């Protein structure tokens, strides 16, 4: 199998990194040149009016001797002026349907309002566009170790958001830069809530009809990702945003990765612990989209219970909690289980599943869908497409219309979001098999 498109050892990944850095450098150089011209123009004595431009040639701010207007500072539709940037961008374009975001504007066009949260790979800030008044979310990428190159996690997030346009995936609007190469921001649509905060603060739980609506949207977003050969690898309630119109927006693609056929080796240190599939906990070097569906199953149960299904303290405790609730697997129900790297140290006491007892107020169809998502054998686990076709969604009550969801105070609009769940796995170690 050819290496992943986003492996740092791959020439394509190197081209993407070069393109991203070259575009930012070109944008900074262009802005500094314009600012220098503005300062020189401000110091220069008033000049006589320039003759009219020859017919057939549009007059520009530079032709007239005037300071550049606000419109002239807008990103050019042409390629960046740096030959290096042009070459790097053209290389990346030859491998991807979407070119990197070019002509980055300055972050100064936004007024920063409040910090929403700080994660492993960036700081998210609520901001207001000075020109339009639009409220957006600015994600400042963590580039402290610039000498190591543009972070692969940031490249993955940018290209996933460009590739996976969907009503239930957060929209990437543009990329802006500060005064230095280390100040790079993603401008995304602002979404008022995340499901983790809502579940911990709402007075009454979501109705069953509302849970169906949320699940349809979550599965639709995941289905789109998988159809584009992308695994999210960090699905959890805190990465599922919801606006005041009941619309879900899947976010945080720092661990997302494209995959191929056949599958190659990838790190098992992905997915936040409480939502991590058993094949990852058992050290499988190969996995596929099924790891996302296990996470969706955990999210489904959390929406029903208003608490995490498997809140493990460490990997051993996580496996123990899964086995206690679902029963311990063996080679009969999961072929190849016994040869997984960590299977020998896993609990071996046979148990019966007690999931039905824990969710005794749910319908048989609800339990059947949940069992399908929490199937041990990844090859037998429901896909997003199969889950969307499950009878659960057609039985009463029907899914609620998103417009009927109640509104909630937005913690993201003024208060710092508190983390009550573990963070995503750190990428500070080696970069191979990411």
Check if the beta carbon of residue 137 is closer than 8 Å to that of residue 124: yes
Sketch out the chain's domains with CATH numbers: 103-190 (3.30.200.20), 193-413 (1.10.510.10)
Upper half-sphere CA count for residue 168 (Cβ side, 13 Å):
18
Q: Tell me the three state secondary structure of residue 241.
A: strand
Check if the beta carbon of residue 98 is closer than 8 Å to that of residue 231: no
CA neighbor of 388 nearest in space, from 168, 147, 85, 137: 168
End-to-end CA distance of the chain: 15
> What are the Cα distances from residue 207, in Å, to 106, 212, 303, 363?
44, 9, 10, 14
Tally of CB atoms within 10 A around 153: 22
Order of strands across the sheet with 248-250? 193-194, 240-242, 248-250
Tens-level pLDDT at each residue, the chain (434 residues): 444 444 444 444 555 556 666 665 666 666 667 667 777 777 776 555 544 444 443 333 333 344 333 333 333 333 333 433 443 333 333 333 333 445 688 899 999 999 988 766 678 999 999 999 999 999 988 776 555 566 777 888 888 888 889 999 999 999 998 887 778 899 999 999 999 999 998 888 899 999 999 999 999 999 999 999 999 999 999 999 999 889 999 998 888 888 875 455 565 556 789 999 999 999 998 899 999 999 999 999 999 999 999 999 999 999 999 999 999 999 999 999 999 999 988 877 667 899 999 999 999 999 999 999 999 999 999 999 999 999 999 999 999 999 888 777 666 665 444 445 565 665 444 434 45
CA distance linking residue 346 with residue 343, whole number of Å: 5
Q: Per this entry, what is the length of the chain?
A: 434
CA distance linking residue 384 with residue 390, whole number of Å: 10
Positions annotated as catalytic residues are 234
pTM above 0.85, yes or no: no
CA distance linking residue 379 with residue 369, whole number of Å: 16
């Amino acid at each position: 199998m050819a290496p992943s498109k986003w492996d740092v050892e791959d020439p394509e990944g190197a081209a993407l990194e070069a393109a991203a850095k070259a575009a930012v450098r070109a944008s900074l150089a262009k802005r500094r040149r314009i600012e220098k011209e503005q300062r020189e123009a401000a110091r220069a004595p008033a000049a006589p009016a320039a003759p009219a431009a020859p017919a057939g040639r549009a007059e520009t701010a530079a032709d007239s001797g005037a300071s550049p207007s606000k419109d002239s500072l807008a990103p050019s539709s042409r390629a960046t002026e740096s030959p290096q940037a042009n070459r790097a961008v053209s290389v990346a374009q030859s491998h991807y349907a979407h070119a990197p975001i070019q002509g980055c504007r300055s972050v100064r066009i936004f007024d920063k309002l409040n910090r929403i949260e700080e994660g492993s790979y960036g700081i998210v800030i609520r901001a207001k566009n000075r020109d339009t008044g639009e409220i957006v979310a600015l994600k400042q990428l963590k580039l402290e170790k610039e000498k190591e190159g543009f972070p692969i996690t940031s490249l993955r997030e940018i290209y996933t958001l460009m590739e996976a346009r969907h009503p239930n995936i957060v929209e990437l609007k543009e990329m802006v830069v500060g005064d230095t190469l280390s100040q790079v921001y993603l401008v995304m649509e602002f979404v008022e809530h995340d499901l983790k905060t809502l579940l911990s603060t709402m007075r009454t739980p979501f109705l069953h009809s509302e849970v169906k609506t949320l699940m349809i949207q979550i599965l639709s977003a995941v289905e789109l990702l998988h159809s584009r050969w992308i695994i999210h690898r960090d699905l959890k309630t805190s990465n599922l945003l919801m606006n005041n119109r009941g619309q879900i927006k899947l976010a945080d693609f720092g661990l997302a990765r494209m995959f191929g056929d056949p599958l190659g080796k990838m790190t098992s240190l992905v997915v936040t612990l409480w939502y991590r599939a058993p094949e990852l906990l058992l050290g499988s070097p190969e996995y596929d989209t099924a790891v996302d569906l296990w996470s969706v199953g955990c999210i489904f149960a959390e929406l029903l219970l208003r608490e995490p299904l498997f809140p493990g303290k460490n990997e051993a405790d996580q496996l123990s909690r899964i086995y206690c609730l679902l029963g311990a697997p063996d080679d009969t129900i999961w072929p190849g289980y016994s040869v997984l790297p960590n299977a020998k140290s896993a609990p071996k006491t046979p148990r019966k599943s007690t999931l039905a007892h824990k969710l005794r107020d749910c319908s048989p169809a609800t339990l059947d869908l949940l069992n399908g998502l929490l199937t041990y054998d990844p090859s037998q686990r429901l896909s997003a497409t199969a889950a969307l076709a499950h009878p659960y969604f057609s039985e009463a009550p029907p899914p609620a219309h998103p417009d009927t969801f109640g509104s909630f105070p937005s913690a993201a609009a003024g208060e710092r979001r508190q983390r009550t769940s573990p963070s995503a796995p750190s990428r500070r170690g080696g970069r191979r098999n990411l």
